[in-house]
Amino acid sequence: MLVALTAMSTLSSCNYNSLVEKQQNVDQAWALVENQYQRRADLIPNLVNTVKGYSTHEEETLVKVTEARAKATSITLNADDLTEENMARFQEAQNELSSALKSLLAVTEAYPDLKANENFMNLQAQLEGTENRIATERKRYTESVLEYNTAIKKFPTTIYAGWFGFTPRPQFKAEAGAEKAPEVKF
């Protein structure tokens, strides 16, 4: 009987420690996602100011980008607040910012001098690199959430997970319409 209780205690300790480690991995992965979104937000004022210097009648686009950035940076989520609802609000704000940035970059096509501006080209390259980093960190977050959520649902760990308050973490959801390929016209 004592051997069985000792074995259960060891199993419980190992499962708990493993879940804590997986939960910490999710939290760290989320912090890296937020870091890349912040990097993007930090680049936007410089990009807007550069475009503003070249285009005087594109005020509406510049205002939309600035407003979308303000909204996106006002929604912050720490790892403890990651729920489906909060994640959806966060993603919606980030998607609005992405859309506004696409509009801004499309507007620049009308300004050949701007497209040739070294500062603009550098900012555009940094923004593209940041978008790639965001995708990479989101992938890592998704992988760590998958590992964590799977672990807390497996038997017998699910018993310990429930006792100690380990709850599932939300995944990123694809943007509405993402399943459709964009139409390309020449």
- pLDDT one-digit tens code per residue, 122-165: 888 888 899 999 999 999 999 999 999 999 999 888 888 888 99
Contact 64, 77 (CB under 8 A): no
Max alpha carbon distance in the chain (Å)?
A: 82
Q: Is the peptide bond before 156 cis (omega within 30 degrees of 0)?
A: yes
- pLDDT one-digit tens code per residue, 156-172: 888 888 889 999 999 88
Q: How far apart are CA 150 and CA 13, in angstroms?
A: 18
Q: What is the structure's pLDDT at 2?
A: 47
Where do the domains of the chain lie? 2-163
Average pLDDT taken over every residue of the chain: 81
Q: How far apart are CA 104 and CA 63, in angstroms?
A: 10
Mean pLDDT value across residues 73-92: 85
Q: How far apart are CA 95 and CA 131, in angstroms?
A: 12
Give exposure, 140-160, as e/b (b: 16+ Cβ within 10 Å): bbeebbeebbebbeeeebeeb
35 has pLDDT over 80 = yes
Q: Classify residue 117 as left (phi > 0), alpha (psi -120 to 50) or beta.
A: beta
Rg (CA), the chain: 22
CATH topology classification for 2-163: de novo design (two linked rop proteins) (1.20.1440)
